Structure 1
């Protein structure tokens, strides 16, 4: 049996499928941030400067969470612990970063799920996903910037070609990674909603 040729998923620092989640549904902070950084690098493959605003937004939110983790490592081992500790402190910088990062991750998850299960071009999948996810949180000033980025996606054949030479292998790994991403997003969204923790964020 021939070995699978290296592709994007082999090169990423951490897959969302490999982010530890404990028996209480708490997500490990360090590995989550590594997986999020790997996702940000995915936007490099989309090959448009328009996506720099999306990457900057995500990287800024990753930094907010990591800064809190570095400042308070004992109470920052999981994402949920960070949010709950900030609720007590009434200083919610990392919580703001996490909810906005998760919204961006949700956009990516919805777009790629639509695309992999259809024959849509990426621009259509991302535009529709934006309309289902992030747009309701964005101001009238920000929306055109993100809409432009969504329309700047490459053709799907070019994008999947950049992920790797073997489409079947790429699709298999993408689906595993995507399932992990969706699981992380759902856990975080449910956590914020269950405690009304996203209010004001």
Structure 2
């Protein structure tokens, strides 16, 4: 497994527990934090609006979980119980987090499918399909500028393959990375589809 996904602070979406009750909240949040870390690998200030948005929504969900852990074991239970209390901070946070994760997932899926595609192109195309329809005319230019600030794709892939400084051994090969990254993307896409369908079925998006 590539070093990035081996780090204790990172959890793969492929390892997030999903039962009939829903998606495990704590495991999902840890995996989502790994996405923030990916933007850290890209290491450009222009992308800070993206990572800040992800991090802020993770915080909203974690706050709700910590306040009512017995009602928030899964994402579905967390939302269901918060909405029953006529509150919506975490529910709104999860909706926007899922949109942000979808944006990231689809962009990286594109770069995986096309080895010649640069990050700026992939993220721009993904932004148009995922986040842009929900952003105001004030926010859109900020995120468009962020997309133009994407470094070359090698920065991302080299960063994901690279071992940590204190680790022994070699960096992961591209083949090793592809195997684990594709599993990560597939699992993330399934969670996104599941939560989106849950919101749609229960009309939770209304007013958010």
Please give the range of the TM-score, normalised by the shorter of the 2 chains.
over 0.9
State the Cα RMSD in Å: 1.2
From 167, 185, 205, the equivalent of 1:198 is: 205
Residue-by-residue CA offset, 1:140-183 (whole Å, 9 max, x unaligned): 11001111111211111232111114111111111011111111
Report the equivalent of 1:31. 27
Pick the aligned partner of 2:75 from 65, 75, 79. Answer: 79
User: Runs of 5+ in structure 1 lacking a partner?
Assistant: none
The size of the alignment, in residue pairs, is 196
- Does residue 1:66 correspond to 2:62, yes or no? yes
- Note if contact 2:4-2:10 (Cα within 8 Å) is conserved in structure 1: no
Asked if structure 1 preserves the Cα contact closer than 8 Å seen for 2:23 and 2:76, the reply is yes
Displacement of 1:55 in angstroms is: 1.1
Which residue in 1 is equivalent to 2:18? 21
Cα deviations by residue, 1:76-124 (Å, 9 ceiling, x for unpaired): 1000011111111111110010000000000001101111001211110
Could you list the runs of 4 or more consecutive aligned residues of structure 1 that deviate by over 4 angstroms after TM superposition?
Answer: none
CA distance in 2 between counterparts of 1:187 and 1:162 reads 30
Q: Please, what TM-score do these two structures have when normalized by structure 1?
A: 0.94
Equivalent residue number for residue 164 of structure 2 = none
Matched, 1:163 2:139: no
Where in structure 2 are there 5+ consecutive unaligned residues?
162-170
Structure 1 window deviating more from structure 2 (157-166 vs 38-47): it is: 157-166
